[in-house]
Structure 1
Amino acid sequence: MSRYIVNGEVYIEHRFLKKTIKIEDGKLIILPPDAPIEDGAEVYNAAGKKVVPGFIDVHTHGAVGVDVNAATAEDYEKICRFAAGNGTTSWLCSVLTDTKEQTEWCIDEYKKHQKMEHKGANLLGIHLEGPFLSSEYKGAMPEHLLQKANMPLLKEYQDRAEGNIRYITISPEVEGLIDDIPAMKELGITVAIGHSGADYDTSWKAINNGAECCTHTFNAMKLLHQHFPAIMGAALESDIYCEAICDGRHLHPGTVRLLLKVKGLDKVVAITDSIMAAGLPDGRYKLGVNDVIVEDGDAKLENGVRAGSTLTQNVALKNLLAFTGKRLEEILPLLSENPARLIKVYDKKGSIADGKDADIVLLDAENDIADVFVGGNLIER
């Protein structure tokens, strides 16, 4: 049975238009606002609401008591349902640097989840945050598990994942990694650079070899110095994407504005980098093998190093609007189009257009989540 969304302001090609949306077999068909409705079709009246693409989170370690590094297939479903309620209709599960055995277990549970019938956000694939990272900027990564370049291992992981590792974070200065970036891309993996003290030239070599993003920009990396621009300078100067955690803690609002001014609205990707504490009260939690203390929503290791966030993308959207003063139509690509382009799913997701997946968020007048559709199905919230 067809579904229609009528009377809403629909976000198409970076502006809001009066359109009717028809959903058929989980796909979108854009119609004029006065298009006739088929007899017997379900109709959603979006009067007073804005109809926008579902949000895509390419970097998250968990939520609602679930840590990705210990998540079963059923646990992934808990995150899927929580994410959908906050406007995130697609996400990547970010596996923190771990043992080979545990990483393989995470991959196997991901595959089990893909065979389940579920009612939440789409789990699009796996993000490996490590193990090929710098010990100097390891953040919450367990140092004894960090590795030098090891393409046979990465290929083994990708084969086990049946091609579903979509994204990896590496440190360019780690021995052998720069030369391996083209091979990573041949495996179907988008490469990001981060957790790094790489110098400017080394960072540019990684970018020229095919790195396409900078992981949680400004955080866990060597910052810009006027004489030594480092990885930060290369990330800002180049045309790669830059992830940003817009919780007001990882980045000052002025830093967010600076990043957008330098990179442009088409090159920033709003992530959560959330941990299992997202959606839960303050307390003690886990991030991989690490103990994390959350106070006032701020997640830190016992040594005071920040360890992920408790952010959700609906909050990130409102933060970005408040931090920048920009219009909604300018900010939406950071949560939809840009991440979709980054991980190569823009042919199916990231915008409202004919033939794309019917992943839709309805925003009210205050830009809060009113309702969410995933694959054309209205999510229970």
Structure 2
Amino acid sequence: MKRTLFTNGKVYVDGQFQDTDLLVQDGRVAGFSGKADEVVDLGGKLLVPGFLDLHTHGGDGVDVNAATAGDLAKIGRFFAKNGTTGWLCSILTDTPEQTLWCIDQAKAAMAAPITGAQLMGIHLEGPFLCSAYKGAMPEHLLRKGDPALFRQYQQAAEGAVRYITVSPEVEGVVDMIREISGHTTVAIGHSGADYETSCAAIDAGAACCTHTFNAMGLFHQHRPGIMGAVLERPVCCEAICDGRHLHPGSVRMLLACKGWDKVVAVTDSIQAAGLPDGHYKLGVNDVVVEDGDAKLASNGVRAGSTLTTGQALKNLVKFTGESVEKVLPLLTANPARLIGMDHRKGSIAPGKDADLVVLDQDLNVTATYVAGVNVYAGEN
């Protein structure tokens, strides 16, 4: 029973930094004092909960739709360098055969020893999406609502599909949401649904909006649409805070409308994250990255991002002018609660997983721990 004591730092507990020690035992938070086998001197740095990314298609040269279990582990190691301790692999709309292959790889990665950020499960982005707002989704692979296909995927995943994005206006989707919402967290997006249909989807069990404001119909005073529905109703809203997908003013407006407990920061990153400009893939799509901005080679439509969670934290502090204490839940507690993992993830409290990130005063990630194990120790 290895016991590690983190000392001489400021620990983020109950929404504020406290001058306290933190004791970790057997991968969990054991308390705030006690004898230890190992002592980690934080040197005055900040100790915060690990970041959770619920929507990402890859990084460090790896695309989720083509990733083996080993490739997914590589993504996890890259994410750990940026403060991510837990993530969902987002499978872009693909053929059933390729989707099932991706699910098998994710299951193998989840069962393997942790060497970086923990793969917590799967996000299916499609295939039950609207063609008019498909973004980077292959149109010929989009489908009407099909609970049986979802059940096939969830059975193959052994329950690991924790999150799915669907479009309310697609035939059969509202009924599908009603049937599956007890088995996964449902988000609505890639959609131009009208207000009434969007509200029906929320009433059926949809709990979130995927990359809010992007790839969706926008608000009009006479036709509030999906945008009006998700701003009004008590659902969460994803936000890609890279400064490209959302203007800083849009981020502030979203927070003002939804409240700080209903916004979930995501990266929507692709394999180009962490790499130079150039040519990359997003599922079946060719993507060109210029000045860090990823766009489809075919038509220039934005296709994911090159954002990391560590940079998202800095951006949110800059965009909002708020303290890091106030911003942190967007990357920690809020995503954990959305997918029903807040009993283990998203905050530092006794009994929870010791998923921890050390930040310096400039909010740079200097160390990352998953289940109490140091998976990133800073650049040599």
- Compute the TM-score of the two structures, normalised by the length of structure 2: 0.97
- Cα-to-partner distance string for 1:298-349 (whole Å, 9 max, x where unaligned): 0000211000000000000000000110011110000000000001100000
CA distance in 1, matches of 2:204, 2:352: 31
The equivalent of 2:213 in structure 1 is 218
Residue 181 of structure 2 aligns to a residue in which SS? Answer: helix
Please say if 1:350 is aligned against 2:346.
yes
Task: Calculate the aligned-residue CA RMSD, in Å.
Answer: 0.9
Q: Unpaired runs of 5+ in structure 2? A: none
The aligned amino acid for 1:168 is I
Give 2:156's match in structure 1, choosing from 149, 160, 171. 160
- Cα-to-partner distance string for 1:157-194 (whole Å, 9 max, x where unaligned): 100000000000000000111012122123x2100000
CA distance in 2, matches of 1:150, 1:256: 34
CA distance in 1, matches of 2:51, 2:236: 17
The equivalent of 1:185 in structure 2 is 181
Between stretches 174-183 and 265-274, larger displacement belongs to: 174-183
The equivalent of 2:70 in structure 1 is 74
Residue 173 of structure 1 aligns to a residue in which SS? Answer: coil
Give 2:87's match in structure 1, choosing from 73, 87, 91. 91
- Cα-to-partner distance string for 1:276-312 (whole Å, 9 max, x where unaligned): 0001100000000000000000000021100000000
The aligned amino acid for 2:223 is F
The equivalent of 1:362 in structure 2 is 358
The equivalent of 1:266 in structure 2 is 261
The aligned amino acid for 2:107 is K
Deviation at 1:362, TM superposition (A): 0.8
The equivalent of 1:232 in structure 2 is 227
The equivalent of 1:51 in structure 2 is 47
The equivalent of 2:10 in structure 1 is 9
Deviation at 1:36, TM superposition (A): 4.8
The aligned amino acid for 1:17 is Q
Residue 127 of structure 1 aligns to a residue in which SS? Answer: strand
The aligned amino acid for 1:365 is Q
Residue 379 of structure 1 aligns to a residue in which SS? Answer: strand
CA distance in 2, matches of 1:167, 1:305: 24
Residue 123 of structure 1 aligns to a residue in which SS? Answer: strand
Please say if 1:133 is aligned against 2:134.
no
Residue 319 of structure 1 aligns to a residue in which SS? Answer: helix
Counterpart contact for 2:128–2:142, Cα < 8 Å: yes
Counterpart contact for 1:171–1:196, Cα < 8 Å: yes
Deviation at 1:111, TM superposition (A): 1.4
CA distance in 2, matches of 1:30, 1:216: 36
Counterpart contact for 2:278–2:289, Cα < 8 Å: yes
Give 2:115's match in structure 1, choosing from 119, 131, 135. 119
Deviation at 1:114, TM superposition (A): 2.2
The aligned amino acid for 2:90 is S
Residue 16 of structure 1 aligns to a residue in which SS? Answer: strand
Between stretches 65-74 and 16-25, larger displacement belongs to: 16-25
CA distance in 2, matches of 1:110, 1:375: 19
The aligned amino acid for 2:35 is I
Between stretches 364-373 and 349-358, larger displacement belongs to: 364-373
Please say if 1:316 is aligned against 2:312.
yes
Please say if 1:278 is aligned against 2:273.
yes
Deviation at 1:141, TM superposition (A): 0.2
CA distance in 2, matches of 1:327, 1:266: 15
Between stretches 330-339 and 7-16, larger displacement belongs to: 7-16
CA distance in 2, matches of 1:30, 1:317: 26
The aligned amino acid for 2:100 is E
Give 2:283's match in structure 1, choosing from 284, 288, 296. 288
Residue 78 of structure 1 aligns to a residue in which SS? Answer: helix
Mapping of residues 323-342 of structure 1, within 5 Å: 323-342=319-338
The equivalent of 2:22 in structure 1 is 21
CA distance in 2, matches of 1:109, 1:341: 26
The aligned amino acid for 2:204 is N
How many aligned residue pairs are there?
375
Deviation at 1:16, TM superposition (A): 1.1
Q: Unpaired runs of 5+ in structure 1? A: none
Counterpart contact for 1:19–1:30, Cα < 8 Å: no
Residue 345 of structure 2 aligns to a residue in which SS? Answer: coil
Residue 277 of structure 1 aligns to a residue in which SS? Answer: coil
CA distance in 1, matches of 2:322, 2:31: 27
State the identity %: 61
Counterpart contact for 1:246–1:270, Cα < 8 Å: yes
CA distance in 2, matches of 1:208, 1:233: 15
Deviation at 1:368, TM superposition (A): 0.9
Residue 328 of structure 2 aligns to a residue in which SS? Answer: helix
Deviation at 1:18, TM superposition (A): 1.4
Residue 242 of structure 2 aligns to a residue in which SS? Answer: coil
The equivalent of 1:374 in structure 2 is 370
The aligned amino acid for 1:5 is F
User: Residues 141 and 6 from structure 1, CA distance in 2 versus in 1: closer, same or farther, beyond 3 angstroms?
Assistant: same
CA distance in 2, matches of 1:283, 1:94: 22
The aligned amino acid for 1:189 is T
Residue 342 of structure 2 aligns to a residue in which SS? Answer: coil
The equivalent of 1:194 in structure 2 is 189
Deviation at 1:271, TM superposition (A): 0.2
- Cα-to-partner distance string for 1:181-219 (whole Å, 9 max, x where unaligned): 122123x21000000000001000111111000000000
- Cα-to-partner distance string for 1:222-269 (whole Å, 9 max, x where unaligned): 000111000001111111000000000000011011111111110000
